[in-house]
Amino acid sequence: MPKNQPGARRVDDRRVISGIIHVLRTGCRWCDCPAEYGPSTTIYNRFHRWSGRRFWTGLVEALAASGAVTKS
């Protein structure tokens, strides 16, 4: 983002995905997600937006097709 643009810098998608996985694994509230993953509102908002776009379904299907994960 150019320096003359207003607003906060975009949080890296990898950090956000790690934060989402942390929340889902630990069961903690979104607001209790460690700051190292970015603002909790950003993590929740991306989870919600990506869920509506079926991002997670596509991700799991792509991982399964690549052989990176197995069904259990």
Q: Evaluate whether residue 1 is within a structural domain.
A: no
Alpha carbon distance 48, 36 (integer Å) = 20
Counted domains in the chain = 1
Q: Evaluate whether residue 53 is within a structural domain.
A: yes
Nearest to 19 by CA among 6, 35, 7: 35
pLDDT (tens place) for every residue of the chain, 72 residues total: 566 778 888 899 999 999 999 999 999 999 999 999 999 999 999 999 999 998 889 888 888 899 877 666
Nearest to 22 by CA among 38, 6, 2, 1: 38
The rounded Cα 29 to chain-centroid distance in angstroms is 14
Q: Evaluate whether residue 70 is within a structural domain.
A: no
16 and 43 Cβ atoms separated by less than 8 Å: yes
User: What's the whole-model pTM score?
Assistant: 0.76
